[in-house]
Every structure is written in C-alpha cells, then in structure tokens.
Structure 1
Amino acid sequence: MQFKRYSLRAASLVAALLLAAHMAWAAEPFKIRDIQVEGLQRVEPGTVFASMPLRVGDTYNDEKGTASIRALFALGLFTDVRLEINGDVLVVVVEERPSVAGVEFIGTREFDKDMLTKAMRDIGLAEGRPFDKALLDRAEQELKRQYINKSLYAAEVVSTVTPVERNRVSLAFTVIEGEPAKISEIRIVGNKAFSESTLRNLFDLDTGNWMSWYTKSDRYSRAKLNADIETMRSYYLARGYLEFRIDSTQVAIAPNKQDISITHNVTEGERFVVAGVRLAGNYLGREDEFKALVSIRPGEAYNADRVAETTKAFTDYFGRFGYAFARVQSVPEIDRSTSRVTLVLQAEPSRRAYVRRINVAGNNRTRDEVIRREFRQYESSWYDSDRIRLSRNRVDRLGYFSEVTMETTEVPGTPDQVDLTMKVVERPTGSLTLGAGFSSSEGLGLTFGISQQNAFGSGHSLGLQVNTSKINRLIVVNTTDPYFTQDGVSRTIDLYQRVSRPYYYEDSYALETVGTSLRFGIPFTERDTVYVGAGVERTTIVPGTYLPVAYQNYADQFGYASTAVPLTLGWGRDNRDSALVPTSGNLQRATAEWSTFGEVRYVRGTYNYQHFVPLTKQYTFAFNTDLALGQGIDGRPYPLFKNFYGGGLGSVRGFEAGSLGPRDSATGLTYGGPKKINFNVELQAPFPGAGNDRTLRVYTFVDAGNVYGPDDPIDAANFRVGGGVGISWISPMGPLRLAFARPIRQFEGDRIQYLQFQIGTTF
C-alpha cells in the first residue's frame, strides 16, 4: 500500500512552533481515521487525548497540528513531541520527562531535612513528579538564599542529577555550610551628642560576647538591622533632634565571607526645644477636651514619642464619637535662629462611620465564638475606638494567641461603613509544670502539672497537678468553663486528694484530705472579677509515730476524721502589661473562706499583691506581698490541717519549703499556723551578654516573712530573711526560675535549702 509519511519534530515548544511556521512543505489536509500514541511510560493515553484539540473524524491541517504540539508541551510532561502521518492515521510520538525518584540532602545541619523535603515538594520537586531543570535551579538558588539569611555567606550548594532505571532521576543537594559570618565591627559616623558606645548599646546586633551562642546577636540579620536603625532614630527624635537623619548604612562582607562590618552615617542636626503647641482644624467644638490630651510640654526638648502619643490620643478620641477616618498631623514650625519649634496639631475628623462586619482570621484551632464573646464593639453599631481597643485587649488577655491585631478597612461604595478584621496568631496553650527541691530530711521532691487552657479550641481549661514527694503527695484535677453563662460567668470544678506524711517511715502519722469544690467567677467590670463557691472535704488524721501533741489533742477532742463545707468569696484584678514577662502594672487577689457546716468551723482569708515598676527599658523592680489569717468560730479552734506554711519559692527563699512556723515540742516538726506574712522584692536585669532579650534575665532578691501560731503575735523580730540571686528563663517548657539563696536572718532549728528551681511560675 502506498502512503506518505510526514514528520513534525520539536526539541522544545519554541522550536516546534518555528518548525511548524517555517517548514518548506506542509501536509495535505485529511480526515483522521485513528489517532495513535507512542512513547508513553507513565502518562495515561487519556491525558494526551484530552489535551489535544484533534479528534477522530476531524480534518487535520498544519494549524491544528501546531496547536496539538503546543498543548502537549504545555502539560510539562514531555521533553519532545512530534506528529507523524501514516495515511489517514495520526501518530503522536512523545518522549516523557524523567520523573523524580527521590530528593536527598547532604550536609544540611542548619535546617531540618523534613522541612526541606516539604519545601521541595511545594515547588514541584518530589518523588513521582516530572523532573524540571528550571525548578532544580530555582530550588538551588532559594536554598542558598536561606543560608544567607542565617549569615552563612560561605555556604556552597551543589545539585546533582543522577539517572536511574525506568526513566527516573535521583536529585541530591550537597551543602558545605561553613561557619556563619559574624559581625566584627559596628561603626557610627557623624555622632556628636551621644557616644558611639551609648548608641551601640541600643542595638540588638553587636560584635558578640560570651552569650552570643544563645542570643545570636553577632549574626547579621536585615530585619534586626532595620530595627536597630529605627531604634537609633527614635532615640534622637525623643531627645530634641528633630532633623536627625541616617544618611546611609553600609554592610560590608570581608573576602573570607566570615566577617561583616556595619557603618551608619548620621547627621544629628540641632537640638530643638518646644516653644508651644497650637490646635488647628476641626475639633468638633471640643477644643478644651482635646487640649487635656496633649502630653507635649512647652519648654522641654522636642520628643517624637510625646508627639506620637498625643496624635494617637487625638485619633482615639475622635474614634469615640464614630470618626473612624480622622486624620491628625503634627506640623512643626521651626525657628532655627533660636532652635525652637512650635507644633501645630492639624485635625480633620472626616466622616462618621459605623461597623458593618467584624471578621476573625488566623484562628485555625480556636472557635470563632471563643474570640467573638470577648468583643465589646458590635456589628451594625457606631465605630468606637475605646470599645475596639478593649475588644483587642480582652482577646489578648485570653492567653491563647501570641499576636492580636485589629485592622480597619472601608466598605467599597459605602463611605460611612467600615469592616473590622481581628487577626490572631495562635500559640500552644498547653503547659507543663515541673518543680524540684532537695533537702537532707526530705530528699528530692518532684512536682508535676499539666494543663490545657484552650482544650479543643473551646476556651475551656483542663488541669492536672501531681506532687510525688515522699512527704507531701498531691493530686488535683480541675476544669474551668470561662463562659458558663452568656454574660461571662465562669465555672470551675476541682477534685483533689492530699496526703501529707512528715517522715519517710510507713508507720509515721499522716494527714489525708479528699474533697471537691465548685466556684463561679462573676465579672463586675472589665478588670474586676468576683468569685463565689462552695466545697466539701473530708480530712483524716492517720495515727502513727511522731504525731505532734497539737494534732493528738485536736483528735482527742474532735475525732480523727472531720468534714468541712467551706464557702468561698474572692476578688481579682490584673493590670499587668504581660502575664508571662510583666514589667509594669500590678496584680491583686483576695480570697475568703468560711466553713459553718460539718465538724470543722473556721474563717480564713488571703491577700496577694504584686507590683512591677519599669526602671529603664532593661531593668524592672518587682514587689510582692502575701498575707493570710485564719480563725476558729462557734467556739471551736482553728483546724490544724488548714494551717498556712512558709519557706521556699513564692515565700522566703533560702529556707526549705513549708519549714517556717510553730514546731511540735516533741518532734521539732513544723506544722504551720493560721497567720502568715511574706514580703519579696526583686531587681530584674538582662542576663550578662543577652542584651535586650527578655526571655533570659537575672534577678537579685530579698525575702522576709514567717508563719505564726494562733496565740503568737506577728513580730517582725521573728521574720526569717533570705536573699540571693537567680535566673529567669522563658524556656520551651514554660517559665523557669532558678534561685540560689542564703539566709540573712535565721534561728536555731531552721531548715536551710540553698538551691531551688521551678518551671511554671512567674514570680
């Protein structure tokens, strides 16, 4: 049979198109009786047929042939495509791209290999995917860029493609990371008012010290450099240098790619003093109210922080009346002859707006309702900046998010409406608490606690505490529903069992307590919460050796087992700027407990006050006090098993936990008392070499306090006093505090404990 065989061949899509457009001859149009595909290995024939614009029964021409080649190349599955005509049969001959057999990373210590494998998969280089040399080159360059971001400028990345059986290739990225480039010099040129060392101390980047292995402050980072530049600019602008500018910043890398030098060229300008402040524009007829918000003081040096504070206060005050788009600008009128400046605060309230919709973004685990119930700005109501700020702060105080921001956007086509978007960044809300202490009498005592503040994204908290000490054993299970009612009343349920055995011996006496309690938290204001509750507990004095006389007398009079039904009332207010690393504000808590039912009758109360004062950006002064008092009622003595204890972390450091207070005359054992008083002061400072890093700090402290019996007067002459130094570290497992303390004032028989640490406490 006579037939003609024509071929259109292309090494690439461009070559195919050129060949089709410029070939010297063309195939005669014909009706396609059949289409055959040759060269397929892994690609399904249906993929080829579905991509081509030609079908059996169509009339073939060169234009349709070119379109078919273009469509098949666009799949990215083939390195070569050609069309052959065998009579009235169209034969599609393809050469498949090799597939990726695997991706391997060699020498990558700085990055996790699983993370790199995922990154390669995201860009298309993964096992089973078609191999693309362009993607390989892009991946190699991106990997080099990531190493540069980590100051590893000497890193070398070489990609290798190894053919394997069945038209596959194995990819390997071989990396020689080298040593990270470090900052060897930071220079500031043009400074006159402040010394170079003073300015360098403001920076997060430095030339390194003995703590650089932790802070990595000597590793160059563009983001940190920009932050340092802004810090220096703010420092000058806050001290009167209105025209200060940074002319240029040069970052130079030595030929060995190991040393980096940074040079800032600055022009300070003159120092200006504020001559006066003037209001201009539309202030809604409330000029006197706005003037009260001005924090800029004539006669003082120009301070950009005060100016920003004032303009923000003006904008927020406009927002209280619904003016979401108010613009406030500070326009300086400079008199260079006297180095004085008059600030004109120009205001334009624009138009009043109300909130159409409030969106929530970033909460992948936390339910929307958990966030929305904290809002105080509502949809379809007037825009109120105070309520918006309060909403943001309430969500932030939940503790479920590392970052909370609120964005305002205009509604297109509706100038008097805005949409609000609250963006959150979730953080792990589970916490692990570990504690330990060692003493000659008790040995090593361990405490363990685990809690989840946002269980299953519901906002509920679940907790478990366990103490494995041979002397004091404890297990507590609790759960809190922060919105038991729609009005924000919380509910907490506790189940607990405590066993206190003062000696290791199995036949020594013990105190066993089993109980449960139910508490409700009622929010009276945005900052004040009142707690009410009730509980039932059963306490048993287990007879044994070394039973104190006081306990024996109590058991003889009221029995070895007794039941109490305590009613509780509490109040709390938290004004701290951070619950994790507070630097300002205060925390107050007060509780009262009253048992009028059962065999045990008593009343007792506690009060805790913490206050934080920022001395500078790096130093914080902290003060803490704990007061407690108990009294028996209805003619019954205060129950000994409700006594307070002192000593150790959270009390008087340097003394063994629970060792302060009255002692049994026969055994010398401390059994606590109904009166307790503690005072703690701390000076918190940066860890040497850690710079401005607030996750690692040192502190020095002085503690004083004691526990007193029912008939003992509270006398400061009997205070135990301890002092020392410690380390505070926000570790991956939670806040860790390590204290080394020595008694400053001690008495005969006191049990000393020099080293104490705990994970999971903040003071």
Structure 2
Amino acid sequence: MPKPFARLFLLCLLLSQTVAADEEFIVTDIKVKGLQRISQGTVYNYLPVNVGEKFSLDNAGPAIKALFKTGFFKDVSLERDGSTLIVNVVERPSIAKIIIEGNKDLSKDDLTKALNSIGMSEGKVFNKQILDKVEQELNRQYLSHGKYALKIKTEVNTLTRNRVGILIKISEGRVTKIKQINIVGNKAFDDPTLLKQLELSTTNLLSFYTKNDQYSKQKLQADLETLRSYYLDRGYINFSIESTQVAITPDKKDIYVTINVKEGDVYTLDKVKLAGNLIVPPEQLIKLVGIGPGEIFSRKQATETSKAISDRLGDEGYTFANVNMVPEINEKNKTVVMTFFVDPGKRAYVRHINFTGNTKTRDEVLRREMRQMESSWASGSKIERSKTRLERLGYFEDVNVETPQVVGAADQIDVNYKVTEKASGNLSAGVGYSQVQGIVLNANISQDNVFGSGKRVNLAFNNSDYLTSYQFGFFNPYFNVDGVSQGYNLGYTSRNAARINITSYSTDVANAGINFGIPINEFDQLRFDLDLKHTTLKDTDQVANEIQDFIKKEGDKFLTLAPTISWSHDTLNRAIFPTKGGQQRFSALATTPGSDLEYYKISYKHQIYIPLAQSLTFRLHGEVAYGDGYGGTDALPFFENYFAGGTGSVRGYKNNTLGPKSTQTIYTNVVQRDAAGNIIIDPITNRPVTTRTATANKLYPFGGSTKMIGNAELFFPVPFLSDVKSVRMGTFFDAGTVENGFKFNELRYSAGISGEWLSPFGALSVSAALPLNAKKDDPNDPNHLGDQKQIFQFNFGQNF
C-alpha cells in the first residue's frame, strides 16, 4: 500500500477512537496547529469543511486527502475538542538554497531554468519525489550536448526554521563524439554528397565552434527530415528511411550512427492543375506555379507554389485560405499529376489595428506608417509592409505583429503590433580616432523623435585635424497628410584638405538649405534641395599649380545657389544592417546661372542585399558619379572633386589617394641679403626682408571629375557572438577609381575581411585588405608615383 494512503488509513483509525462512526457534530470552530509559513487562510481554502456544517468520520478521509494533495504538508491529523475541529499539520520544509557545482558545459542559468520547469526552485516547498526528477532532467539537458559519461550526486542538508539546502554535484565527463556516420542503401547519390546535407558530422576543424560532432536525438531527427527532403526534391517520391541505429562504445567516448534508406524511383510531372474556388483570375495564379509538365517532381517547388498561391489569396483578404497539394501517382509510368486545390475560406476583414509598447511615440506616428487599413479586408503583404515601415523608422529595437481571429467572428481579425522602444534622443560628447582625420572631438544633441512626434532636431559640433563643423537641422517626415517631408539646415564648416592625404588647401563654408521629399509610391521618392553656400578658399605655403591657376582666374570667395533633384528607390528591410532588399539613388545638382561658380554633378548609386541563409547576407554595391563646369566655369571646381581609396570605397589603398595627382609647389620665406652678404632690414618694420621662394615640387592626390566604385561583400555573424545584432563580419572584393573621364584600365582592386560594431561609444569599422593590382613607382619618372597601400584600416567615432 502506498505510504500516503497507509498514513491516511491509520489516521482514520486513530480518529475513530474519539469520534464514533455514527456520531456527528456541528462544527462551531476550526483551529489549525503546526503552521510555520503557510497561512491559516490557505488551509481553510483547501479544507472541504466549513463552520456550521456537520462532521463525521466519513468526512475525515476526504479532508485529510485534500490537505495532502496541496503538497504543503508531510503529515496531517484531525482531532475533536467538543464542537471544535482541530487540524494538526507538519509542514514540508522549504528550499532555502540550491547550489550547483561542477557544471562547465551548461551555465548555471540554463540548469536553473531546467530545474524550474520541473518545480524545483528556491522558495518552493521541498518534495523528495521532485528530487528524483532532477537527475532525469539534468541527464536530458547534458545528453543533448553529447555528455554521456555524466554523473550526478545530490545532497539535502537540513537548515533552521524548517528549511533545507540542496547541493547538486555534477561530473560532466568528456563529450562523446560522433566517430562515424554510415548511410546504407543509397545508390543515386554517394555518401559524401548526402553527408554534406546533414548537420551532424564527424569531427572537423570547425567542430569546436559548430559542435556538429556532438550527437543529439533532436539533431538526428532534423537530419533525417533534411535527408528525406533532399530526395523528395529530386523526384524520389517513394523514398523512405527504413531504420536508424545509434551505437555508443563501452567507454562512452565514441558514437556510431547508421541510417538505412530505400530510394525508390524518380518520378516526373505529367500535368499540373488548379482546382477549387480560385477567387482571382486563373492566369494570375498560373504565373505563380513554379513547376511544369516534364520536369522532375520537387516537393520544395510544389510547397513554394502552394505558399505563393496562398499569399496571393491573402492579399485579397482570404487570410485563412488553404491550398492543398493533391498528387496522383502513376506507378507504371513513374509520373505525377499534381493538383493544387484552392479553398479560400471566408474573406477576413481587419477590425482593429492595435499598438503596444510605444510608451513615448504617439499612436499617430505609428498609424501613419500603416498600409493595412481598419475595416478593409486583410492583406498579408500590406500587414508585413506596415511592419517593415515601423522597423525603418529607427525608433524601435524590435517590432512584432500578430493577427488573432476575433472571438465569435469567423471573418474578422485584429492586427496587433508590439514594439520595443529604444532611446531616440542623443546627448553626447566624445572622442574618436580615424586614420584619415586623426583625433575627432564631437558634441551632439539630437532627438529623432521629438516629444514622440516623429520629427527630428539636430545640433552638432565636430572638430578634428581635418574638419571643424557646426550644424543645426530640422526634419519633419510628414509635412502634410500626403507624406511630403520638409527639412532645413544651417551650418558652418572649415576644412583643411592636407589632413586627409590630398593636396593642400582649406575652405570655410557657410551654408543654409531647405529640402522637400515627395513620395511617388510605396518605394520611390523624389527629393528637392536648395542650398545657398558662401565658400572662402585659402591657400597655404604648399600650393598645387592647379589651385594657383584657379584662384587667379576665379578668385577665392564664391557665393553659389545650387538646386538638387534626386530620385530614390528603397526596399531595404532595415535602416541599419539590412539583410534583404535594395536601394537606388540618382542625384543631379547644378548651381544656378549667375552663381560665382557654374558647375553640375550627377551621381547614381545602387546596392542590393541578398539573403543566402539565415545568418548570411550578400551585398552588391555600385556607384558612378560625374561632374563638370558650364557657362563661365571651365571645369568642376577642384574642391568639389571626387576621391577614392580607403574605408567606404576601395579598401587596402590609403584614403583618398587613388586617381590623378597634382604638382604641389613648396614655398619658403628666404631672407634677402645685399652684395656683401648682409641681411637687408626693412626700415619701417625694422625686420629682415624676406621673399616667398619655391624650393621643391611634390605630387599629391588631387581628385577627379569621374568616380567609379564597386563592392561585393558577404556578411556573417561573429563566431561566438551570433546573437548580438550590433556586430557583424564580412569578406569583400572592392574595385574603383577616380579619374577625369571614364578610364576602366585605371580601376584598382582589393580583397579582404571586415568587421563592424555599433558600440555604445560610437560606430567602429575595421578592415584588412590586400591590394590586387597596385601600381608601383616609376623610377625613371618622378611624376608617376605608385599607389599608396594601407593593409589595415579602421574608423572609430564616425558613422559608417
């Protein structure tokens, strides 16, 4: 007889000594004795006896059983004192502390969560029966990590105030590795081909990171499904896995896995049919069918076709549409007639669109991004596009959407967006370093979401060896209800070009501008900018001949008014670290006739992100730009030239050094002497008379009017940091140059690896690149210098 029931039986016998079997009494009071932590109210809630009710021996068993069932007590007895029912209890001890020792492969947090799942945690009532489950659960956790030599020992120590401490000692042992995987019965595909499809593998160079040589039942089941899909996608409809055997060596060091398969024959498609209530014109659905007669049957293509048809119906409001694949197999001819049966169900309408988590951002800011409207039929693509638009705002760390069906309504759903806000304001002062600009001091006060309105205000100061800048900007993304944006800016910038590896000159620019953005459709926008600039050009003691000639002809102060028109097409899924979509931008700028300088600039950029796997993204980027003078200006002003080389263009070459060079004359002040060799003194200033004399010539990068850049990069997560979204690595191939005219033979190439981190202290980008066709110096011609290489490059404290 189980112990609880034996105890219950004995207590009933003892109770019968004081309460006769046929004696009943009215309970006028109930007293509980022995409580330490449990409240009397808890006992009263579970006790099936109340004051004023009749009580007899027949009620004793159910009462004691009900209190035992709570799990709070290890002993319960009932007594009668007149008309008072006395409940005597002995509480189970509580768990004061759980100590885990010896765990290395699994963290304490992971093990604690596992124990919580079976009801053992600090503060809960201790039950020896649950302790027996601890070893089973920990074994399960470690077996999934390939630890088959695991040993677990538990100790329970009694503490004061009816508490216990639990010590769990773990001896993990070494990881059991997969020694061999055998596939038996395969004829169409050899073992290496099939083994490449599996996640499980024998030990290789990357196993320390991937842990693919550690056996787990879950991984094996996933691999079996992968293997099944591999065959079904290649026409083997009758493929089956006959059996699997997993054997472990006596020393528990090695595992052998054997998979027995039966391939069957290859089947081809005879016909593809559409049936059911198609809703939309059949010709629209036929375009979505990715398989056709004569092709080898592929379950993957059939599934993708089914999903494409279902998504198309979803755009018409049939959110709950089912598209079932019904194959008719002809065993004799080894062919399949595939029918896609469409059951659209009822058209679903959106009752409410709800937002949660936006504690700061106003609902109207989120709602104006919605492409799905309330009271209209539900469109899967519009709901997903609305989610993407929320992500692209930049106000939220995470955006999730759910579409639950309205209770009691078969044709209505709610669309619930849950957002996690991030800090959209920034007050910072910092120090950064760039190989180009040197030490960078910056102060920035910005608010991308002023008072939750979605408007952006920015006040910034930046100072480095190259640049000193003061800027103020305001931007309203919804200037009117049609989505027209408006912004304006004021600023002052002083640049010293010699600090960034190019020819020596400096400029002071005061600017004021206004811009408008007009959406054409969901992905395209026209933008109009009008910028007024006053530029002051300063020469130095080391001035290129071209700059001297420019100043002689054009002067050193210029007032220009430059309108710009640009078109952009943007389908990126995120503003930062996108993983899919593309972006195009065409821009044309021209100063107005009558400006001190008359010139124009045209540029086109195109980039596309292609997801190759869950954590791999391939990026292609290209840029072409051209500028020239018109009217009274012969060419593009030199301080508007394009530059290439280094971070953001062709890595591996020193920043801004690719392209044309200028001859820079170095001047020095020479003290004048008379015929006798004495220093000539100016009678007015009483100082030596000096003359500015050219003493040397040197070549420096001068930039050009034409720019060509191309980049191909594969992004992947950083090993051991795959869950961190602010870090990524890449391997790349760069090509590009700057010239006066399109000269494809002057393109430079490089390849290497890169890393990017959006750190709390600023953006950090690093790269290590190998120039592939760098030009060398011509020893016979000092005016033909080679390219300046820089293998390792980094930027910190600046935007990408």
Pairwise same-fold verdict (TM > 0.5): yes
Write out aligned runs for 1:509-658 (5 A). Answer: 519-534=515-530, 546=542, 567-575=563-571, 586-594=582-590, 603-611=600-608, 623-631=620-628, 635=632, 640-658=638-656
Contact 1:720-1:743 within 8 A present in 2 as well:
no
Please give the secondary structure, in 1, of the residue aligned with 2:137.
Answer: helix
Structure 1 residue 738 and structure 2 residue 767: aligned? yes
Give, as a single letter, the amino acid of the residue that structure 2 aligns with 1:756.
Answer: Q
Question: 3, 17, 20: which one pairs with 1:25?
Answer: 17
Structure 1 residue 677 and structure 2 residue 707: aligned? yes
TM-score, structure 1 length as denominator? 0.77
Q: Per-residue displacement from partner, 1:283-317 (whole Å, max 9, x unpaired)?
A: 46944454444332333322333333433344444
Contact 2:350-2:378 within 8 A present in 1 as well:
no
- CA distance in structure 1 between the partners assigned to 2:349 and 2:536 by the alignment: 60
Contact 1:499-1:511 within 8 A present in 2 as well:
yes
Q: CA deviation at 1:656?
A: 0.8
**Structure (1 or 2) with the larger CA radius of gyration:** 2
45 and 301 in structure 1: CA distance in 2 versus 1, 3 angstrom threshold: closer
Structure 1 residue 703 and structure 2 residue 740: aligned? no
Q: CA deviation at 1:207?
A: 1.9
346 and 158 in structure 1: CA distance in 2 versus 1, 3 angstrom threshold: same
201 and 59 in structure 1: CA distance in 2 versus 1, 3 angstrom threshold: closer
Give, as a single letter, the amino acid of the residue that structure 1 aligns with 2:649.
Answer: S
- CA distance in structure 1 between the partners assigned to 2:188 and 2:204 by the alignment: 27
Give the aligned CA root-mean-square deviation in angstroms.
5.4
Which position in structure 1 is the counterpart of 2:658?
660
Which position in structure 1 is the counterpart of 2:127?
132
Give, as a single letter, the amino acid of the residue that structure 2 aligns with 1:703.
Answer: A
Please give the secondary structure, in 1, of the residue aligned with 2:655.
Answer: coil
- CA distance in structure 2 between the partners assigned to 1:212 and 1:517 by the alignment: 57
Q: What is the percentage of aligned positions where both structures have the same residue?
A: 34
Contact 1:581-1:762 within 8 A present in 2 as well:
no
Give, as a single letter, the amino acid of the residue that structure 2 aligns with 1:522.
Answer: I
277 and 463 in structure 1: CA distance in 2 versus 1, 3 angstrom threshold: farther
Contact 2:203-2:213 within 8 A present in 1 as well:
yes
615 and 119 in structure 1: CA distance in 2 versus 1, 3 angstrom threshold: closer
Structure 1 residue 721 and structure 2 residue 748: aligned? yes
Q: CA deviation at 1:744?
A: 0.5
- CA distance in structure 2 between the partners assigned to 1:616 and 1:117 by the alignment: 33
Contact 1:355-1:378 within 8 A present in 2 as well:
no
Please give the secondary structure, in 1, of the residue aligned with 2:98.
Answer: strand
Q: CA deviation at 1:608?
A: 0.9
Contact 1:646-1:676 within 8 A present in 2 as well:
no
Question: 78, 88, 99: which one pairs with 2:94?
Answer: 99
Q: CA deviation at 1:169?
A: 1.7
Which position in structure 1 is the counterpart of 2:792?
755
Please give the secondary structure, in 2, of the residue aligned with 1:191.
Answer: coil
Which position in structure 2 is the counterpart of 1:163?
158
- CA distance in structure 1 between the partners assigned to 2:52 and 2:383 by the alignment: 68
Contact 2:705-2:741 within 8 A present in 1 as well:
no
- CA distance in structure 2 between the partners assigned to 1:38 and 1:615 by the alignment: 68
Which stretch shows the higher mean deviation, 645-654 or 466-475?
466-475
Give 5+ residue unaligned stretches, structure 1.
1-9
569 and 69 in structure 1: CA distance in 2 versus 1, 3 angstrom threshold: farther
Give 5+ residue unaligned stretches, structure 2.
667-697, 776-783
407 and 231 in structure 1: CA distance in 2 versus 1, 3 angstrom threshold: farther
TM-score, structure 2 length as denominator? 0.74
373 and 145 in structure 1: CA distance in 2 versus 1, 3 angstrom threshold: farther
Q: For this pair of structures, how many residues does the alignment match?
A: 741
Q: CA deviation at 1:443?
A: 7.5
Question: 333, 337, 347: which one pairs with 2:341?
Answer: 347
Q: CA deviation at 1:528?
A: 1.4
Question: 187, 196, 209: which one pairs with 1:214?
Answer: 209
- CA distance in structure 1 between the partners assigned to 2:494 and 2:133 by the alignment: 64
Which position in structure 2 is the counterpart of 1:193?
188
Give, as a single letter, the amino acid of the residue that structure 2 aligns with 1:739.
Answer: A
Please give the secondary structure, in 2, of the residue aligned with 1:229.
Answer: helix
Contact 1:495-1:517 within 8 A present in 2 as well:
yes
Which stretch shows the higher mean deviation, 516-525 or 28-37?
28-37
Contact 2:18-2:80 within 8 A present in 1 as well:
no
Please give the secondary structure, in 2, of the residue aligned with 1:208.
Answer: coil
Contact 2:715-2:728 within 8 A present in 1 as well:
no
Which position in structure 2 is the counterpart of 1:5?
none
Give, as a single letter, the amino acid of the residue that structure 2 aligns with 1:246.
Answer: I
Which position in structure 2 is the counterpart of 1:298?
293
Which position in structure 2 is the counterpart of 1:3?
none
Please give the secondary structure, in 2, of the residue aligned with 1:210.
Answer: coil
241 and 727 in structure 1: CA distance in 2 versus 1, 3 angstrom threshold: farther
Contact 1:328-1:345 within 8 A present in 2 as well:
no
- CA distance in structure 2 between the partners assigned to 1:54 and 1:67 by the alignment: 10
- CA distance in structure 2 between the partners assigned to 1:730 and 1:228 by the alignment: 34
Question: 411, 419, 430: which one pairs with 2:413?
Answer: 419
Structure 1 residue 109 and structure 2 residue 107: aligned? no
- CA distance in structure 2 between the partners assigned to 1:615 and 1:723 by the alignment: 23
Write out aligned runs for 1:201-600 (5 A). Answer: 201-283=196-278, 286-319=281-314, 321-341=316-336, 343-357=337-351, 373-384=368-379, 387-388=382-383, 390-391=385-386, 409=405, 415=410, 417-419=411-413, 470-471=465-466, 486-489=481-484, 500-501=495-496, 502-503=498-499, 519-534=515-530, 546=542, 567-575=563-571, 586-594=582-590
- CA distance in structure 2 between the partners assigned to 1:123 and 1:619 by the alignment: 37
Which stretch shows the higher mean deviation, 471-480 or 565-574?
471-480
Give, as a single letter, the amino acid of the residue that structure 2 aligns with 1:752.
Answer: K
- CA distance in structure 2 between the partners assigned to 1:54 and 1:113 by the alignment: 45
Contact 2:542-2:664 within 8 A present in 1 as well:
no
Which position in structure 1 is the counterpart of 2:138?
143
Please give the secondary structure, in 1, of the residue aligned with 2:226.
Answer: helix
Question: 170, 175, 180: which one pairs with 2:175?
Answer: 180
Q: CA deviation at 1:576?
A: 6.1
299 and 34 in structure 1: CA distance in 2 versus 1, 3 angstrom threshold: closer
Which position in structure 1 is the counterpart of 2:690?
none
Which position in structure 2 is the counterpart of 1:4?
none
